[in-house]
Amino acid sequence: MARRLLILVLLALPATAAAQNREHQQIFADLRMLQEQTQLLRVAIAELAEALKAVNTRVDEQANLTRKLFADQGVQIGSLTENARILREKMDATNVSLSKDAHEMETIRQELATQRTLLTQIITMLTPVTVPGDPGNPTAAGAAGATPPPVAGATAPPSVQLPPPPQNPQRAFDSAFGDYATGQFDFAIAGFQYYIETFPTSPDVPKARYHVAESHYGKGAYKAAVAAYDQVLKLDKGTEWEAPALYKQGLAYEQLGQTERAKANWELVRKSFPDSSAAMMAAQNLARIIKKTTISN
Mean pLDDT, rounded, of the chain: 79
DSSP string computed for 14-28: HHHHHHHHHHHHHHH
133 within 8 A of 142, measured Cβ to Cβ: yes
Q: How many CA atoms lie within 13 A of 118 on its CB side?
A: 14
Which of 266, 256, 268 is CA-nearest to residue 289?
A: 266
Question: What are the tens digits of pLDDT across the range 218-271?
Answer: 999 999 999 999 999 999 999 999 999 999 999 999 999 999 999 999 999 999
pLDDT at residue 21 in the model: 73
Cα–Cα distance, 41 to 64 (Å, whole number): 34
221 within 8 A of 192, measured Cβ to Cβ: no
Cα–Cα distance, 254 to 51 (Å, whole number): 82
242 within 8 A of 226, measured Cβ to Cβ: no
176 within 8 A of 208, measured Cβ to Cβ: yes
pLDDT: which is higher, 269 or 80: 269
Q: Is the pLDDT of residue 158 over 60?
A: no
pLDDT at residue 127 in the model: 60
When pLDDT is averaged across residues 118-133 and rounded to a whole number, the result is: 59
Cα–Cα distance, 213 to 205 (Å, whole number): 13
Q: Please name the residue ranges forming H helices in 219-258.
A: 222-235, 242-255
For the ranges 2-16, 152-166, 173-187, 204-218, the lowest mean pLDDT is seen at 152-166
Question: What are the tens digits of pLDDT across the range 3-61?
Answer: 666 676 666 666 666 666 777 778 878 787 888 888 888 888 988 888 888 888 888 88
Cα–Cα distance, 202 to 210 (Å, whole number): 14
Taking CA 65 as the corner, what is the angle to CA 60 and CA 68, rounded to the nearest 5 degrees? 125
Cα–Cα distance, 121 to 133 (Å, whole number): 28
pLDDT at residue 31 in the model: 80
Q: What pTM was computed for the model?
A: 0.47
Q: Is the pLDDT of residue 184 over 80?
A: yes
Query: Does domain 171-296 sit in CATH 1.10.640.10?
Result: no
pLDDT at residue 231 in the model: 96
Cα–Cα distance, 292 to 286 (Å, whole number): 10
Domains of the chain, by residue range, sit at 22-98, 171-296
195 within 8 A of 173, measured Cβ to Cβ: yes
